[in-house]
Amino acid sequence: MSTDSILFQDIFDIKDLDPQGKRFDRVSRLVGRSENYEMDLTLDFNAEIYPLKVGEKFSLVLASSLSLEASASVGGVEKKESWRERAPGERDLSDEYEYVMFGKVYRYEDSNKGSTAGQQVQGKLIVFFFFFFFVSSVYVSYGGLLMCLEGDYRHLQNLTVGENIYLLMRK
């Protein structure tokens, strides 16, 4: 399997489901935290066809293509692909996952957050260090089901506004 099309991949632990209450019959919103990159995820999903529970873990992949081939572009021109054009017996990335959605990145936000570490000694604050870290948030719409992935910008730099992406999940 080629990893050229994989833009982000991690394992998430579900911390909460429908934190602001259930608004739709078949849709739930999960809040999760990733194990490897410490990313925060808020995701709307179809709970009727893919039920999830608080405390469960799942693998999440964001990919630009479902193709298992090395590249989906020929001569710098992106090859138009459709999941319906698969030949009989041909496999793609979706065969390895249980839940797949197709959507578009519609917003990308950067913010600076600062933090200090220090200790108070005899009434005086001694600051050991001060550091900034950049947090990015990527927003994707999957036909009205929304996703926000937030964390270190280095893990999200492959995602660009206007890009079509696939979300793939498995428990």
pLDDT in tens, 112-133: 655 444 455 555 555 555 555 6
Phi-psi region of 10 (alpha: psi -120 to 50; beta: other; left: phi over 0): beta
6-170 homologous superfamily: Nucleic acid-binding proteins (2.40.50.140)
pLDDT in tens, 2-49: 568 999 999 999 999 999 988 889 999 999 999 999 999 999 999 999
In order of 19, 26, 103, the CA distances from 161 in angstroms are 27, 28, 11
Report the SS3 class of residue 94: helix
> Cα–Cα distance between 165 and 147 in angstroms, integer?
12
User: Span 156-169, mean pLDDT?
Assistant: 95
What residues does each domain of the chain span?
6-170
pLDDT band, residue 67 (cuts 50/70/90): confident
* Whole-prediction pTM: 0.79
Residue 142 pLDDT > 90: yes
Residues 6+ positions from 141 with CB-CB distance below 8 Å: 103, 104, 106, 147
Residue 149 pLDDT > 70: yes
